[in-house]
């Protein structure tokens, strides 16, 4: 019921601009493991995800995204709210800046872990460089940073290959900074987007951050 209300509210928000100059899309995803920056958010189990996106021709975008989670505690769902701006400098350089607010449902008020993060991405030809900064990571009072780089390669038969690496640091991680990296192959069949990814981190002795193979399929309407 909460998800339905959130989607209805987001759809109502799109009336701020004429629909002729804006686009609304809904994406549903089934994935074998919800992995965020190299770490499983579903205890190595599958996830159902739903996203609603609004994009205006002036570059503004906003949306809401939801997934089940399993941290072996009371949390059972993550719902994120985001808004930002996309800009294009020329044919080889574009960027976006956004604010994402992560909310986790199932906790009591004493266990509130909701937090916000500022994100910047630069797209230079086939490279994507990302920067993230959370001033109050999971409501701990400590900050966290994330730096990532990805490279896209076009393969025959319209397959795509993405090589990615990221680094998580900040006071919230103290001496537990870590590197994550992945290799992802993507292909679209009959309007369905399929992905297969190999993901790993340099975290030792963790069964939710070790090497894993993740399959996903999504459809956007």
Virtual CA dihedral for 89, 91, 92, 94, nearest 10 degrees? Answer: 40
Q: Looking at residue 108, what is its pLDDT?
A: 77
Q: What are the 10-residue block averages of pLDDT along the chain, 221 residues in total?
A: 32 38 94 98 98 97 98 93 97 97 86 93 98 96 98 97 98 96 97 98 96 98 96
Q: Looking at residue 1, what is its pLDDT?
A: 29
pTM over 0.85: yes
Catalogue all structural domains in the chain, each as residue range(s) with its CATH number. Answer: 2-220 (2.40.160.40)
Report helix, strand or coil for 189. Answer: strand
Residue 19 CA to residue 10 CA, distance in Å, equals 14
């Amino acid at each position: 019921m909460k998800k339905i209300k959130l989607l209805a509210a987001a759809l109502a928000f799109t009336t701020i601009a004429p629909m002729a100059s804006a686009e609304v899309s809904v994406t549903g995803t089934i994935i074998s493991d919800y992995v965020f920056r190299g770490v499983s958010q579903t205890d190595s189990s599958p996830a159902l995800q739903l996203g609603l996106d609004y994009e205006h021709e002036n570059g503004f975008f906003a949306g809401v995204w939801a997934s089940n989670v399993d941290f072996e505690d009371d949390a059972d769902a993550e719902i994120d709210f985001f808004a930002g701006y996309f800009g294009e400098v020329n044919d080889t350089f574009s960027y976006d800046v956004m604010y994402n607010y992560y909310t986790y449902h199932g906790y009591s008020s004493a266990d509130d872990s909701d937090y916000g993060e500022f994100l910047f991405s630069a797209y230079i030809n086939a490279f994507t460089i990302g920067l993230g900064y959370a001033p109050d990571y999971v409501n701990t009072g400590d900050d966290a940073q994330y730096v990532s780089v990805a490279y896209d390669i076009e393969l025959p038969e319209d397959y795509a290959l993405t090589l990615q690496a990221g680094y998580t640091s900040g006071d919230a991680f103290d001496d537990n900074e870590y590197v994550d990296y992945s290799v992802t192959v993507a292909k679209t069949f009959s309007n369905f987007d399929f992905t297969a990814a190999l993901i790993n981190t340099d975290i030792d002795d963790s069964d939710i951050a070790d090497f894993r193979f993740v399959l996903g399929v999504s459809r956007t309407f």
